[in-house]
Copies of this chain bind each other. A is one copy, B any other.
Amino acid sequence: MDIATILGFVLGAFFIIFAIANGGPLGWFIDFNSMLIVVGGTLCATMISYPLDKFINSFKTVKHVFQVKQLEPTEIIKRIIGLANIARKEGLLALEEAGAQIDDTFLQKGVLLIVDGTDPELVRNILETELAFIEGRHKESQGIFETMGTLGPAFGMIGTLIGLIQMLQQLDDPSSIGPAMGVALITTFYGTLIANFICSPIAGKLKMRSAEEILLKEVMIEGLLSIQAGENPRIIEEKLKAFLSPKIRSGLEKKEDAEGVGVEA
Chain A residues within 8 Å of B, Cβ to Cβ: 2-5, 7-9, 11-12, 15-16, 18-20, 22-24, 28-29, 33-34, 36-37, 40-41, 44-52, 54-55, 65, 68, 122, 125-126, 129-130, 133, 137, 147, 151, 154-155, 157-159, 161-171, 175, 177-179, 181-182, 185-186, 188-189, 192-193, 195-197, 200-202, 204-205, 208, 238-239, 242-243, 245-246
Contacts and interface: CB of A to CB of B under 8 A. Distances in A.
A251 to B, nearest CB: 13
Given A178-B171, A179-B168, A192 B158 contact: yes
Contacts of A164: 182, 185
B8 A45 contact: yes
A44 B7 contact: yes
Contact of A19 (B37, B48, B179, B201): B37
A245 B158 CA distance: 38
Copies of this chain in the oligomer: 5
Contacts of A154: 192, 195-196
A213 to B, nearest CB: 13
Given A2-B51, A16-B162, A158-B197, 18 more contacts: A4-B50, A5-B47, A15-B40, A19-B159, A23-B162, A23-B166, A45-B197, A48-B204, A48-B205, A49-B204, A122-B238, A125-B239, A147-B204, A158-B196, A161-B192, A164-B182, A164-B185, A168-B179
A8 B155 contact: no
Contacts of A196: 45, 151, 154-155, 158
A230 to B, nearest CB: 18
B23 A41 contact: no
B52 A4 contact: yes
19 contacts: A4-B48, A4-B50, A4-B52, A8-B46, A16-B41, A20-B166, A23-B162, A48-B197, A49-B200, A49-B205, A49-B208, A126-B242, A129-B243, A164-B185, A165-B182, A166-B182, A168-B179, A169-B178, A169-B182
B41 A165 contact: no
